Structure 1
Amino acid sequence: MARWAPQETDTMAAIAAEVIAQVGTNRTVIAVDGQDGIDLERIAAALVGGFEQHGVHAMAAAAPTTEADVLRADLVTPFRTTGAGDGVLVVHGAGLLAPGTRTLWRWSLWAEQESGRLGRRADVKIAASAVLDVTDPEHPRREWNDAC
């Protein structure tokens, strides 16, 4: 018998609700990073859709680099200083949760799949605000990686 799994839209709306509750939506910048081979652009677009389900304006942007100064100058600062009120920018790209860039984001999401999970980088997983299992992209699951 097949098990029920939430649709991508439901999972992403739940994650967006978590972000809204934890850090708010006043010019909030979020990072989406993940294992090699994962479609981070798709995850970012789905997360934007999750925010829109809650009535929050959001947009996605591909990170042009992993250099903190460039990310700050080209994406973070312009988004935070142009415009007022609610808004979320979801930046996606490999390496965004590296030690040099982690402080740029108010909240972050690490995406991984079952294959290669044993080889995941513990430091990145710990740095992420949340972990998303995208082994089945149509039915991603929020992982609760607590220590208990």
Structure 2
Amino acid sequence: MTRWAPEKKDTVRALAVEILHNYGHGRAFIAVDGPDARADAVFADDLVVALKEQGHAAFRASVGDFLLPRAQRAIAGENAIDELTFRRVLIEPFRMGGSTGWVPAAFDARADRPFESTWVTGPADALLIVDGALIGRAELAGLWNYAIWVEGGDTADRSPEARGRSAAVIDNTDPDHPRRLFDDAC
């Protein structure tokens, strides 16, 4: 029996419509994460496109662009971020709205050096989609207005805490046909 699977654009568009219904005015933060960092980043990029197609301002950032230098990560953990910089140059300025600029990326982990600061501004009604924001980052949990967990294949149970903190869970086993999962808590 052939099973119907939605097209990627349809799943992402439906999620964009839901987010805009709840967070269409003012500034809001959307977290996207899962066990496959590359798949999460692609899904976050697709979400930005869908939000813009709906006529809303949307911007991208990655927690991976706020990592600590390699020597500090060797002590603190491979995915340890510079939380102070993350909050100071991205989160707080974005939250302020208006003409305040923010920096979407601060550290190039591959080159192990800071990026040259690039300041971005946007309208008062805007969304910031940030990938890599949930796994092992309890200190950031209170920042997100909406969180999306992207999973696939045998990765479903790699971080039940992060999945549980998510408003939406996406089964990305087939990246061309991701499906929204609805966990029944009854």
Scaled by the length of structure 2, the TM-score of the pair is 0.70
Conservation of the 8 A alpha-carbon contact between 1:25 and 1:56: no
**Distance in 1 (alpha carbons) for counterparts of 2:183 and 2:5:** 19
In the other structure, the counterpart of 1:78 is 93
Cα distance between partner residues in 2 of 1:45 and 1:9: 12
- Shift of residue 110, structure 1, vs aligned partner: 0.9
Separation (CA, whole Å) in 2 of partners of 1:94 and 1:34: 9
The answer to whether the Cα contact below 8 Å between 2:135 and 2:159 also exists between their aligned partners in 1 is no
Trace 1:38-117 onto structure 2 (pairs within 5 A).
38-63=38-63, 64-65=66-67, 66-81=81-96, 82=100, 83-93=122-132, 95=134, 98-117=137-156
Quickly say closer, same or farther: Cα 1:67–1:146, change in 2 above 3 A.
farther
% of aligned pairs identical?
37
Q: Who is 1:135 aligned against?
A: 173
**2:137 aligned counterpart, secondary structure:** coil
Q: Does 1:30 align with 2:45?
A: no
Alignment match, 1:144: 182
* SS of aligned partner of 2:170: strand
**Residue 5 (structure 2) aligns with:** 5
Q: How many corresponding residue pairs?
A: 147
**Residues 86 and 60 (structure 1 numbering): CA distance in 2 closer, same or farther, change over 3 Å?**
same
Structure 1 CA distance for aligned equivalents of residues 133 and 146 of structure 2: 16
AA aligned to 1:28 is: A
RMSD of aligned Cα (Å):
2.0
Please say which structure displays the higher CA radius of gyration. 2
**Deviation, structure 1 residue 96:** 5.5
Q: Find the aligned partners of 1:137 and 1:8 in 2 and give their Cα distance.
A: 7
Structure 2 runs not aligned, ≥5 long: 68-80, 101-121
Contact preservation (8 Å) 2:171, 2:178: yes
In structure 2, relative to structure 1, the CA distance for the partners of 1:102 and 1:92 (3 Å cut) is: same
